[in-house]
Amino acid sequence: MITIIRHAKVNYCYAKYYFHHEFNKACLEYNNSHILQDKASLCNINANKVYVSSLKRTRDTAKLLFPDAEHIEYNLFDEVPIKAFAALPFPIPTALWFIVGRLQWMLGFQRQPESIRQTISRAMQAADILESEKEQVSLVCHGLFMRVLVHELKKRGYHPDNVASYRNLGIVQLYKR
């Protein structure tokens, strides 16, 4: 069984509007922010070994959920990076930065640090690592990467045991039948 958990909610609030350089800075600040710990102890999954991304929020979540487990960090499990889609001379809504940035990711624009093809390739490598484990394995990662990884595992014959939840602290458990 493979258990994938999205990190706890991050203690960060984006502004409503940003200039391009401010948006990039806000994304970096989000990546370095602490998590909110109020609901993080609700997980009742036991694990001896937990994989995490190299981003602070997954490491902190794993420490809360699995304090006695071995934590193995790989940047392979990092969230799909995003940056401003253009150097505009005026601020635009934060939601638009995200929407257009993710469209660029999906279409393979070089403005984004990673294309969807590169993300899928990373997910394939991540699936190889998770499948190499002989026993139950857990991973704490990120919403968009989690979606891509779950899709890859389904292609390999895994089936979710529950309705997939990609919200903070959402859990997807997958079995190979």
**How many other β-carbons are positioned within 10 Å of the β-carbon of residue 69?**
15
Residue 97 has pLDDT above 90, yes or no: yes
pTM score, two decimals? 0.92
**pLDDT of amino acid 38:** 66
Residue 100 has pLDDT above 60, yes or no: yes
Portion of the chain with pLDDT greater than 90, in percent: 82
pLDDT in tens, 43-61: 677 788 999 999 999 999 9
Residue 39 has pLDDT above 60, yes or no: no
Q: What is the mean pLDDT of the chain?
A: 93
What amino acid occupies position 169?
L
Residue 94 has pLDDT above 90, yes or no: yes
Residue 41 has pLDDT above 60, yes or no: no
pLDDT in tens, 117-162: 999 999 999 999 999 988 889 999 999 999 999 999 999 999 998 7
Phi, psi of 6 (to 5 degrees): -80, 145
**pLDDT of amino acid 142:** 97
How far apart (Å, rounded) are the C-alpha atoms in residues 26 and 43?
29
CA angle, 47 as apex, 128 and 157 as ends, to 5°?
A: 35
**pLDDT of amino acid 40:** 54
Q: Which CATH number fits the domain 2-176, given the four candidates 3.40.50.1240, 3.40.50.1100, 3.50.50.60, 3.90.870.10?
A: 3.40.50.1240
Q: Alpha carbon 145 to chain centroid distance? A: 5
Stretch 17-23: mean pLDDT: 98
Question: Which residue do the tokens 């958990």 mark?
Answer: 5
Residue 26 has pLDDT above 60, yes or no: yes
**pLDDT of amino acid 81:** 97
**pLDDT of amino acid 43:** 65
Q: Are 48 and 72 in contact (CB under 8 A)?
A: no
